[in-house]
Amino acid sequence: MSGSKKISRRDLLKAATVAGIGGMTLGLSKVGEAASPKEKPPAQTKSKKKILGVDVIKVGGQGVISGAHADYGWQIQSGAILAIDEINAKGGILGSKLELKFMDEELKPAVAVKNARYLATDWGAHLLFGVDSSGSAMAVGPILPELDRICVFDHASTHRLTEELVYGKGIKQIFRIAAPVYQESNLAALIFKEFPNIKRWAGIHCDYEYGYSVWALFKDTLKKYRPDVEFVSIAWAPFWTMDFSSHISAVMAAKPDAIIATPWAGEGVMLLRQALMLGVFDNIQAWFQCMGGSVDILEGISREVAAGKFKDKLWATARYIHNYPDSPENNKFVASFRKRWNRFPNYSAENAYSTIYVFKAALEKSRSLKTPDLIKAMEGLKLMTPAGERFFRPEDHQAIYSVPGGRVVTDPNYPIPILGDLKVFPAQAYYRNPPFEALKMDK
Amino acid sequence: MNEGKKDMETLVFQGLVGLSVSMYLWLLAAGLTIVFGVLGVLNFAHGSLFMLGAYFTFTYYGLWGVNFWLAIALSLLSVAVVGYFMERFFLRHIYHLDHAYQLLLTFGFILIFDDAVKMIWGGVAKIPPMPSFFEGTVSVVGRPFPFYNLFIIGTGLAVAIVVWLLFEKTWWGKMVRASASDREMASAIGVNIPTLFTGVFVFGAMLAALGGALGTPVRVVAPGIGAAMIIQAFIITVIGGLGNLKGAFVGAIIVGTLSAYGILLFPVFELFLIFLIMAVVLMVKPQGLFGGG
């Protein structure tokens, strides 16, 4: 079959441009989409009887609810809805009920910014929370002063959000409830400095903000304790990588002792399955899957863990794990979540659930919906949450709490794998502390 | 930056891994370029057919427990039905219009299919199991190479041969080629053009579905996986020459293997490499490597 000349290359390129524009308009059109079926007019019904002055406190959330990472958006929504229903059932916050609207940020900074604007100005959100992508967080953070809203970031984990935007630039409307990249980078370094035979490290990392910061911090911290380690190979994978085989075989060519990997959600599952296929676990001593302690990954690899295919070499952490700590708060949260949604909560679910309770604690302290009052109430706030006690450090608005890392194992008490052989470090041991020095992040 | 990258064995192994990745791209680009070449239609929704192939296979094999091979066959048939409806009731009515209309229509199909998939299967990625008979590795230059990747390479090559035989050696293929080069003349000598076009479109859809189906044991099934692949498929058709099957095959191998080598040798700007190659081809041979012949 030889080429038909009916379609010229110019037509194709023109077509591709139009498709690009189409994609952008798609993004635009989604901004207006309502997550809840009943749309309420933005105008507030002022109530003199309520302490906060409103009948309904509007909470606008964002997460990714489509594609390979969609489970995170689902988990964020599920955690938030659970907390809101619990609070509303007990009469709300100072007599005002909570209402949620949740939007898809599509892992696109521009979409996240449009969503935040829509939620704050058109829909009338009093409080904002989200987002999943670090790129989206870095884009939403700077517009918060203009929107005059606080936003509690419950997933996006780049250290730059709190170190640069809050501590450096003084954007006080930003708070982060989730552990930042210190969790997977510095904690991993503390765990693996104790393995004298692991000297050659390789990385398979996300080709965006998140992957760059984890790899930079991990190398930096591990090198301090272990001058003898080498970082022998690295592969970068963008969003929507459908096949990691080339990345895996490229880093394995350098014969590393261990691999640290950041692809998350569905991509993390795909990466681990393809690593198994390539016989990686016969040839390395350890694999640290940064957010591998997240429920979606544990569910996705449960067959392989049960069959012992990872040979006890797979390690992971998360920004909360459902089997730690063994506290009344956590046990109650896991039980309620499972009853309501018939699944285990991942860290996004806990982070979102606790976000709503942080809003409650802050509002009860400030007794005001005004942003400066809320900021004052949030700074230095201490609250017991399922993940343990959280403390919002006033300098950078980062919540301080500790989550362990461990080996991915099966446990007869759980239908899915859990993290076992837990390595617990106090948060102070692995969080970066102010004053912050800018980190060199070479790709 | 990466150590141990220079020796021949590493390059051979990386090339082979890249070749297996190329085969998914080839299956996708093949249908795209056939539909281009014969129908003159820019089917942006071709990636959605790839995605549907994955979802149907996941449903039959992963959910209903149907035998893997039967699940793939059923998935191809299911996508064939979808393709039939797309061509017979929608595309057929706009062949005579400007390409912009075809683009709008097929772009609309992307949105419809993505949302339909979310409604039926949900937005969360699906992870079907690997059939046990595909597990294991073979040793290639002393390193473990997955048996499944060998199977994918074999399948891709087999499809290339079958497609070539179909178009070069069969009566149907001759009719297709005749109508691709001169639609009016073919019609005048008795070729039923509308039926033929439906057949070609359905065939292209099934090739896309095969690519999607074969990915299910090792990848994830999620809304948007088609859109993630279609850009690469377009790059391949540009490199190889629009509507040219041989070009699609060679283009897929170039894109797949050079990506793999890029990841190994130039990890910092690997993504840029493919676009660089496309730009060079466009400058040196604007019709694509095999185009304009």
- Domains of chain A in sequence order: 42-179+327-400 (3.40.50.2300), 182-318+404-430 (3.40.50.2300)
What region does B89 belong to: left with phi over 0, alpha with psi -120 to 50, or beta? alpha
Backbone angles phi, psi at B90, to 5 degrees: -125, -65
Q: How confident is the model at residue B272 (pLDDT cuts 50, 70, 90)?
A: confident
Token pair for A362: 């802050």
Instruction: Summarize the confidence of residues A190-218 as an average pLDDT.
Output: 96
> What pLDDT is attached to residue B47?
96
Which of chain A's residues have a Cβ under 8 Å away from the Cβ of B218?
243, 270, 273-274, 277
Whether B83 contacts chain A with CB within 8 A: no
How confident is the model at residue A35, as a pLDDT? 43
For residue B129, what pLDDT band results from cuts at 50, 70 and 90?
confident
* Contact of A292 with A344, CB cutoff 8 Å: no
**Partners of A104 in the beta sheet?**
A63
pLDDT exceeds cutoff 70 at A21: no
Q: Establish if B1 touches chain A: CB-CB under 8 angstroms.
A: yes
Q: Tell me which residue in B107, B222, B229 faces A266 most closely, judged by beta carbons.
A: B222
In this prediction, residues A164-172 reach a mean pLDDT of 97
Q: Do A2 and B218 touch (CB under 8 A)?
A: no
Whether pLDDT at B24 is above 50: yes
Show which of residues 318-337 on chain A sit within 8 Å of chain B, judged by CB atoms: none
Asked if B196 reaches chain A (Cβ–Cβ under 8 Å), the answer is: no
Q: What is the pLDDT of residue A437?
A: 87
Residue B4: inside a domain, yes or no? no
Write out the residue range of the structural domain in which residue B98 sits. Answer: 10-284
Which pair of structure tokens corresponds to residue A238?
């963008």
pLDDT of residue A439: 82
The pLDDT assigned to A209 comes to 86
Q: Which residues of B touch A5 (CB under 8 A)?
A: 292
B180 reaches A (C-beta below 8 A): yes
- Predicted local confidence at residue A8, as pLDDT: 52
Partners of A18 on chain B (C-beta within 8 Å) are: 100, 103-104, 107
Nearest CB neighbour to A67, from listed B130, B224, B242: B224
Burial of A388 (0-12, 13-18, 19+ CB in 10 A): middle
Asked whether residue B175 is assigned to any structural domain, the reply reads yes
- Is the pLDDT at B179 greater than 70? The verdict is yes
Residue B274 vs residues A19, B238, B256, B279: alpha-carbon distances, Å: 20, 12, 9, 9
Residue B5 in domain: no
Residue pLDDT, tens place only, A357-383: 999 999 999 999 999 999 999 999 999
Query: pLDDT value at position A163?
Result: 96
Residues of A in contact with B288 (CB under 8 A): 3, 9
Split into its structural domains, chain B has a count of 1
Residues 211-270 of B with CB under 8 A from A: 215, 218-220, 222-225, 228-229, 234, 237-238, 241-245, 247, 259-260, 263-264, 267-268, 270
Task: Report the pLDDT value the prediction gives residue A11, as an integer from 0 to 100.
Answer: 52
Instruction: Round to whole Å and give the CA distance between A375 and A138.
Output: 19
User: What whole-number distance in Å separates Cα of residue A156 and Cα of residue A158?
Assistant: 6
pLDDT value at residue A48: 57
Both tokens of A107, joined, read 């892992």
pLDDT for residue A365: 97
A-chain residues near B36 (CB < 8 A): 4, 7
Confidence of residue B227 (pLDDT cuts 50, 70, 90): confident
CB contact under 8 A, B286 and A9: yes
The arithmetic mean of pLDDT across residues A54-83, rounded, is: 91
- CB-based contact A249 B4, cutoff 8 Å: no
The model's pTM: 0.89
pLDDT band at B273 (very low <50, low <70, confident <90, very high): confident
Q: Is residue B121 part of a domain?
A: yes
Specify whether the backbone of B238 is left (phi greater than 0), alpha (psi in -120 to 50) or beta: alpha
Q: Would you call A250 an interface residue with chain B, using a CB distance cutoff of 8 Å?
A: yes
* CATH code for the domain of B270: 1.10.3470
**CA distance to partner chain A, nearest, from residue B89 (Å):** 22
Which residue among A26, A236, A251 places its CB closest to the CB of B111? A26
The answer to whether B108 touches B86, Cβ cutoff 8 Å, is: no
Q: Rounded to 5, what percent of chain A is helix, strand, coil?
A: 45, 20, 40
Query: Is B38 in CB contact (< 8 Å) with chain A?
Result: yes
Residue B24 lies in a domain: yes
Residue B292 lies in a domain: no
The mean predicted confidence, pLDDT, of chain A is: 90
Q: State whether residue A164 sits within 8 Å of chain B by CB.
A: no
pLDDT given for residue A47 in this prediction: 53
Strand stretches in A243-363, DSSP E = 258-261, 286-289, 314-316
Q: Which of A22, A66, A296 sits opposite B223 (nearest CB)?
A: A66
User: DSSP letters of B106-124?
Assistant: HHHHHHHHHHHHHHHH-SS
Check residue A19 and give its pLDDT: 44
Query: Who among B104, B218, B228 is closest to A277 (CB)?
Result: B218
Please work out, in degrees rounded to the nearest 5, the angle formed at the alpha carbon of residue A249 by the alpha carbons of A295 and B279.
Answer: 105
Longest distance between any two alpha carbons in chain A, whole Å: 78
Q: Is B289 a member of any domain?
A: no
Q: Looking at the partner chain, which of A14, A18, A243 has a beta carbon nearest the beta carbon of B219? A: A243
State the number of CA atoms in the 13 A half-sphere of A10 facing the CB: 0
Mean pLDDT value across chain B = 92
B257 vs A24, residue with greater confidence? B257
pLDDT tens-digit profile of A322-370? 999 999 999 999 999 999 999 999 999 999 999 999 999 999 999 999 9
With vertex at residue A344, the alpha carbon angle to CA A339 and CA A346, rounded to the nearest 5 degrees, is: 135
pLDDT in tens, A221-258: 999 999 999 999 999 999 889 899 999 999 999 999 99
- Tell me the pLDDT tens digit for each residue of A398-421: 999 999 999 999 999 999 999 999
- ipTM here: 0.93
**With 60 as the cut, is the pLDDT of residue B180 above it?**
yes
Q: Give contacts of B273 with chain A, Cβ < 8 Å.
A: none
What tens digit of pLDDT does each residue of B41-50 get?
889 999 999 9
Q: Give B284's pLDDT tier (boundaries 50, 70, 90).
A: very high
Element (H, E) at A249: helix A245-252
Chain B contact for A17, CB < 8 A?
Answer: no
| pLDDT higher than threshold 70 for residue A34 | no
- From the list A9, A254, A266, which residue is nearest B220 (CB)? A266
Judge contact between B39 and B95, C-beta under 8 A.
yes
